[in-house]
Amino acid sequence: MTNKPSIHEIITDVSNGDVMAFRALFDAYRDKLYFFLLRIVETKESAEDIVQDTFLKVWLNRNDLQNVKNFNAYLYQIAKNAAINGLRRKALEAVILESNQFTLEATDNEEQILLKDLRIQIQKAVEALPAQQRKVFTLRRNDHYKIEEIAEQLQISHLTVKRHLTEALKSIRHALKISYKEDIIIILVILRLIDP
pLDDT digits (tens, 9 = 90+) for 6-37: 888 999 999 998 889 899 999 999 999 999 99
pLDDT-wise least confident of 38-42, 147-151, 186-190: 186-190
Q: What pLDDT is recorded for position 175?
A: 77
113 and 190 in one domain?
A: yes
Query: In this structure, is residue 91 part of a structural domain?
Result: no
Q: What percent of the chain has pLDDT over 90?
A: 26
The pLDDT value recorded for residue 189 is 39
Kindly state whether residues 123 and 62 are assigned to the same domain. Answer: no
- Higher-pLDDT residue of 181 and 31 is 31
Q: Is residue 5 part of a domain?
A: yes
Q: Residue 92 falls within a domain, yes or no?
A: no
Range of the domain at 28: 1-85
* Residue 37 and residue 2 share a domain: yes
Please write down the HEC assignment for all residues of the chain.
Answer: CCCCCCHHHHHHHHHCCCHHHHHHHHHHHHHHHHHHHHHHHCCHHHHHHHHHHHHHHHHHCHHHHHHCCCHHHHHHHHHHHHHHHHHHHHHHHHHHHHHCCCCCCCCCHHHHHHHHHHHHHHHHHHHCCCHHHHHHHHHHHCCCCCHHHHHHHHCCCHHHHHHHHHHHHHHHHHHHHHHHCCCHHHHHHHHCCCCC
Given this model, what pLDDT does residue 98 score? 55
The predicted-structure confidence for 107-149, as pLDDT tens digits, reads as follows 556 556 666 777 788 888 889 999 999 999 889 887 888 888 9
The residue from 36, 58, 85 where one domain ends is 85
Tens of pLDDT, residues 43-102 = 888 888 889 889 988 988 899 998 899 999 999 999 998 888 777 766 666 655 555 544
* Under 8 Å between Cβ of 34 and 43: no
For the chain, how many structural domains are there in total?
Answer: 2
pTM: 0.49
Domain annotation covers residue 173: yes
Note whether 143 and 193 are same-domain residues. yes
The predicted pLDDT at position 75 comes to 94
Q: What is the CATH number of the domain that holds 164?
A: 1.10.10.10
